[in-house]
Chains A and B, each alone.
Chain A
Amino acid sequence: MSRFLLRRVLFGVLVLWLVATTVFLLFFAGPADTVARRLAGPRAPIEVINQIRNTLGLDRPLWDQYLSFLGKLLHGDLGVSFISQTPVTTLIAQSLPGTLWLVFGAAVLWMTAGITGGVLSATKPRGLRDRVTTVLVLAGISLPTFVLGMLMIYLALSVFPWSGLQPGPYVSPLWDFAGFLQVMIMPWICLAVVQAAVYVRLTRGSMLDTLGEDYIRTARAKGAPERRVTYRHGLRAALTPVVTQFGVDIGTLLGGVVVTESVFGLQGLGQLMIRSVRNGDLPVIIGAAILASAFIVIANILVDVAYSFLDPRVRLA
């Protein structure tokens, strides 16, 4: 177990290093010059551009910039934003709560809906319940997140203005709980609908596999009530792939729910990323990308560990 963990962590660090290096090279080998020129303004004299390059350290040799970048990274220093001169870590810390609330709030909704839907349609395959769920799932999978979000905003503002729901930046629930709900409910539903579709499919398939196993027949033969067979014997074993997917999704989403945040103007990590891309704010882009990859790497390791607890047949070696 500890050897397995060590190997996974080392592999995770390798992935992170690869991501950091790739992103660094992509940006600093190529368009750093363009950035200095853009920051200086369209008609800035060459001296101003050079001065900006000098301030940002863009005139030093590439390997020198890379080494100091890696060194700072190891100390948790992601540099300073080109635009606002704020440390990148501060910007990330400001954007993180919105993303965290969005992801975990939506996760409760989509796990509830997804597992319920999956179980309902797997216990009576090809029945009416199953067909209705299948259609809903297809609609959910086919509907792009941003289109769903825009339709929700349109409905909330033009058709149901009394609902009080509105798009806007994240408000802390400790400061203004009503305002928090006003801006969070729509993004929660939007993200949950899209995710739930995937989980219904996954739970249904996994449940069908599990319910076909011999020990389920044994449980029925022993006279266990159907409800107990479904939930105690079936669902528990069927949840393994669902948990895997959940871990991966949480990891990916924490890195920034780019689309949902942008549609609703939530000001989370994803939107920070998009804004920095538009402004050419390289340190912020790099910092956000590394953080996002870190979430994914950590989530993957946690999933592998959880696997061995859920399914005793899995041995970590």
Chain B
Amino acid sequence: MSLTEASAEAEHIPEQAEAVRGKGPWQLAWERLTRDRAAMVSLGVIAVIVLLALLAPVFAAITGHGPQEAFPATGLTPEGLPVGPGSGFWLGADSLGRDLFVRILYGARISLLVGLLSTLLATLFGVVVGMVAGFYGGWVDGVLARVLDVVLSFPYLLVAIVLVAVLGASVPLMILVIAFFSFAAMARVVRGQTITYKEREFIEAARSMGASKPRTMFVDVVPNLIAPVTVLATLLIPTSIVFEATLSFLGLGVDPRTPSWGAILSDSVDYYRVAPGLLIFPAVMLLLTTLAFNLLGDGIRDALDPRGEGGR
């Protein structure tokens, strides 16, 4: 074989290799996910809700109703009851004559903001704490595991109520409180995973090549955590959304004037017998959102772990 032939051969190889290259695990997982009809529908529902939340000011402009503006003249009947769905108020008005549709859209912003940000915070803290505990072991693990035990054994709803009572209701506080109580669950899972990886050969290899502990953790352990963390994070989002709605419903969440789904539902308590829409519409939105995130989370889990029994 001459040199030119060899180089031609060499040039040819990549193409051949390209042709038989296997699909990466992420590509496979994504393909499995796109075949999961429930997960795809959920993704669509989430996209629509996000879009509606982003477009809330546009709808406020179209209807001419701000989220906190009351329109007693047009929104209430002469008897003082909220008007039903119609051309002026697409989903009807609430007991103060505010536009229910516009308020639900602004509520979506609060729910998504709290759900996503608190999950993000919880994930960051949970991964770091869980990984440090699992990787370093010894007394570090002993202390951190105990702290997680204590956090997990707190009656979280009661503590959240107490904290809100002391510090006053606000969106940032709500995000911090929810993140604080979800981070322990994340940390526990990450800790367990890290412990199983710690003894594996590739970690030993990294260590024998002189990699520092933090480097080993972030470069070698983290990629293996992506799958379980993604699944848990997706499932934490609906939990956080429900948590926020529940606190707001109890009147301890965000500022009561802020249109949050929980607060809207709480406002409806005395009126939904005459105006069932006040209960049904926000309830359906809340249920759709949490259901979509839960289904998506299940779908992602099945896609990442095809051997596992779905729904465990």
Contact = CB atoms under 8 A, between A and B. Distances in A.
Interface of A: 15, 18-19, 23, 26-27, 30-31, 125, 134, 137-139, 141-147, 150-151, 154, 157-158, 201, 204-205, 208, 252, 255-256, 258-259, 262, 273-274, 277-278, 280, 285, 288-289, 292-293, 296-297, 300
Contact of B290 (A19, A142, A201, A285): A142
A258 B158 contact: yes
Contacts of A255: 155, 158
B150 A289 contact: no
A258 to B, nearest CB: 5
Contacts of B276: 154, 158
B233 to A, nearest CB: 16
A262 B250 contact: yes
A258 B250 CA distance: 9
Interface stretch (B95-103, B161-169, B204-212): B161-169
B158 A259 contact: no
Contacts of B265: 146-147, 150
- Candidate in B157, B268, B291 with the most chain A CB atoms within 10 angstroms: B157
B238 A142 contact: yes
B286 interface: yes
B39 interface: no
A202 B157 CA distance: 22
B228 interface: no
Contact of A277 (B150, B162, B310): B162
A258 B291 contact: no
A289 B250 contact: no
B45 to A, nearest CB: 12
Given A26-B166, A27-B166, A158 B158 contact: no
Contacts of B286: 144, 147
B33 interface: no
A150 B283 contact: yes
A102 to B, nearest CB: 15
A141 B294 contact: yes
B294 A142 contact: yes
A-B interface, 3 closest residue pairs, ranked by CB to CB distance from nearest: A205-B312, A142-B290, A142-B291
Interface in B143-161: 150, 153-155, 157-159, 161
B309 interface: yes
Contacts of A145: 246
9 contacts: A27-B166, A138-B298, A145-B246, A150-B269, A204-B312, A205-B312, A274-B252, A280-B165, A296-B154
Interface in B256-312: 262, 265, 268-269, 272-273, 276, 279, 283, 286-287, 290-291, 294-295, 298, 309-312
Nearest to A145: B246
B157 A138 contact: no
Contact of B246 (A141, A144, A150): A144
Nearest to A205: B312
Contacts of B268: 150
Interface of B: 150, 153-155, 157-159, 161-166, 238, 242, 245-246, 249-252, 262, 265, 268-269, 272-273, 276, 279, 283, 286-287, 290-291, 294-295, 298, 309-312
Contact of A296 (B153, B163, B298): B153
B279 A138 contact: no
Contacts of B245: 144, 146-147
B72 to A, nearest CB: 25
Given A15-B153, A146-B262, 18 more contacts: A18-B150, A26-B163, A31-B166, A138-B295, A145-B246, A146-B265, A147-B287, A150-B272, A150-B283, A157-B273, A158-B273, A201-B312, A204-B312, A208-B312, A255-B155, A273-B161, A288-B158, A296-B154
Nearest to B268: A150
A273 B158 contact: yes
A15 B151 CA distance: 10
Contact of A256 (B150, B158, B291): B158
A258 B161 contact: yes
Contacts of B309: 125, 205, 208
Contacts of B158: 255-256, 258, 273, 288-289, 292
